[in-house]
Structure 1
Amino acid sequence: MDRIAKQIIIALIVLALLSGVGFGIYYFSSARPTCDDGVQNGKEEGIDCGLIACGVACINILPLRVTVSKLLPAGQNDYDFVFQVNNPSPGYGTPFAEYELSLIGASGSEIDKIKGSFYILPGQTKYVALSFKMAEEISAVNVKVSSVDWQKLTLGGETQFILKRQQYRNLVNMSGATSEEDLIFEQELLSEEPISEGLDIEPSAAGAQTIYSEFDGILFNNSDFDFDRVDVAVVLFDDSDNIVGINRTTINRFLSQTDRYFRTRWPFEIDESVFRADVEATTNLFENENFIRTHGGSQEKFQKYY
């Protein structure tokens, strides 16, 4: 074998080795699909789908979108945080979407992470509200939805919680002394319908803790179902539509075609003037244990799984 032929063979071997190394670097450094993490990555054609990547044809599932977020101080070392998430997929929701909050300190660097989860129904937009305590000052919070357990959900009936009355009051004057209730706004949203008698409405006495303001209202369960748990989020806005207050509560055993009173309180002063409120009542239709009883029909389950 002459010298030129040997050089050609050596060059081909070197080229093959370099190609193999390059492919290995690309293969191991590129995003690889896991097909169960609730996000589109690798060669997936959609979220956790694609015949080549996952062996499953894609259906029309769009990723969850965080549309609004707000961090508010809630006293010394305490913070309230809310974000609004939209599910644009009409036929799919999730009983478990995991989120991760990156807490940014005054220096601009991340100082901690908080993980949690929420449920969301097909086509729903909802608030996720939480409170936390930190030893350091927090200047911002970044939100990321890290994984989603998608499930097809066909609603077998109408679930609707109607807000019949809402009112917001200041309970402490600017000097810090307890004052007569200063009613900021009140709305009888369904004034033509009488409020049910026998509602469990507690007195407004604050007890040992100073309560600066409170929001209360009456919700009506317009569905044919009794629910074990209904989550209520209250978000307050000023006249420029900025979020100035966040709170949440739970209504247990919300019976069909009944009214329920709810109240949320703030043990600190809200700095801005409150102009309006968003009240959002939701319930987890993915949990069969959440359905106590069905009225007016033969259907045993509210939802159907596929």
Structure 2
Amino acid sequence: MASWAAKRRLLYIAGVIGFFLLVFSYPIFSIFYEAPSCTDGILNQDETGIDCGGTCEAVCEAETVDPVVLWSQELEVKPGQYDAVAHIENPNIRAGVSVINYSFKLYDENGILVAERGGKTFINPSERATIFEGAINTGKRVPVRTFFEFTTEPRWTKVEVARPILPVTNQVFTDDGIKPKLKAELGNELLDAIDDITIVALIFDENDNIIAASKTGVDRLDPQSSKTISFIWPQTLKTEPTRIEIVPRVNLIAN
């Protein structure tokens, strides 16, 4: 039977070993332990899908609806050159896409592809927006139908930022028979500057058909200020314009 001194020595040794295990195991644990996150590829936290939903910024695909292409159209600028426009809608109230690729395809009356143009855009929540690509060369062929599609899958992100109101005032359209021009004032009534503003102008005839479109941009609009924006077409319009829409857009996710 072990003496009291031997038992005390064993207890002391066990205590020392336990102390060192605690001291050295915590750093090892902290090195190898990974806290749950929205990028760990595991369904954890309050996520409703792997790395999406709940507190994660990414919105799960099952909780979103694909953006809708309402219409697409080609617009002759001059012989052999066309602009292409498409109007899209995002039915998702609180989900947007920071960047997504798209493609315009222009076809002739025989259904043969005449020209193709790709680009990138963004999609804000609950937004109807016009996508524009200009100066598409078609040579001697005449497109009569335009097809628009998104060519990458949308990566939906939760968006809580309100869309800024950017008033457009003092619209003036002039056509001297050579190069039609459209000018307007774009305002920022906020106390913060707004960067990377995309502005699309649409011109309609008396039957509310689009007869011309154009796009410009503003790199930065200072707080409580305004800036003149301009659009120019290379030749006179074939139809008298009766209505003009100028729509500014800001990427709410990037900003």
Question: TM-score normalized by structure 1?
Answer: 0.59
RMSD (Å), alpha carbons: 2.1
CA distance in 2, matches of 1:282, 1:221: 12
**Pair 75,112 (structure 1): closer, same or farther in 2 beyond 3 Å:** closer
In structure 1, the residue matched to 2:125 is 122
In structure 2, the residue matched to 1:162 is 167
Q: How big is each residue's C-alpha offset from its partner over 1:219-251, in whole Å with a ceiling of 9 and x where there is no partner?
A: 111233212321110000011100011111111
How far is the alpha carbon of 1:70 from its aligned partner? 1.9
How far is the alpha carbon of 1:58 from its aligned partner? 5.4
Q: Percent identity?
A: 18
Find out whether 1:134 has 2:132 as its counterpart: no
| Residues 181 and 232 in structure 2, CA contact (< 8 A), matched pair in contact too | yes
Find out whether 1:277 has 2:228 as its counterpart: no
Q: Structure 2 counterpart of 1:76, which letter?
A: P
Q: Structure 2 counterpart of 1:229, which letter?
A: D
How far is the alpha carbon of 1:158 from its aligned partner? 5.0
**Pair 137,223 (structure 1): closer, same or farther in 2 beyond 3 Å:** same
Q: 1:124-273 alignment to 2 at 5 Å? A: 124-131=127-134, 132-135=136-139, 136-172=141-177, 211-273=178-240
Structure 1 stretches of 4+ with a deviation exceeding 4 A read 56-59
In structure 1, the residue matched to 2:77 is 74
How far is the alpha carbon of 1:125 from its aligned partner? 0.8
Q: Structure 1 counterpart of 2:86, which letter?
A: F
Q: How big is each residue's C-alpha offset from its partner over 1:86-114, in whole Å with a ceiling of 9 and x where there is no partner?
A: 00101111012222222212432224433
| Residues 96 and 148 in structure 1, CA contact (< 8 A), matched pair in contact too | no
| Residues 185 and 227 in structure 2, CA contact (< 8 A), matched pair in contact too | yes
CA distance in 1, matches of 2:229, 2:76: 24
SS in 2 for 1:239: coil
| Residues 158 and 223 in structure 1, CA contact (< 8 A), matched pair in contact too | no
| Residues 80 and 130 in structure 1, CA contact (< 8 A), matched pair in contact too | yes
How far is the alpha carbon of 1:68 from its aligned partner? 2.4
**Pair 268,149 (structure 1): closer, same or farther in 2 beyond 3 Å:** same
Q: Unaligned regions of 5+ residues in structure 2, if any?
A: 1-51, 53-58
In structure 2, the residue matched to 1:5 is none
Q: Structure 2 counterpart of 1:213, which letter?
A: P
| Residues 99 and 145 in structure 1, CA contact (< 8 A), matched pair in contact too | yes
**Pair 145,110 (structure 1): closer, same or farther in 2 beyond 3 Å:** same
How far is the alpha carbon of 1:218 from its aligned partner? 0.7
Question: TM-score normalized by structure 2?
Answer: 0.71
**Pair 108,157 (structure 1): closer, same or farther in 2 beyond 3 Å:** closer
Which entry has the higher C-alpha Rg, 1 or 2? Answer: 2
CA distance in 2, matches of 1:167, 1:138: 31
**Pair 158,94 (structure 1): closer, same or farther in 2 beyond 3 Å:** closer
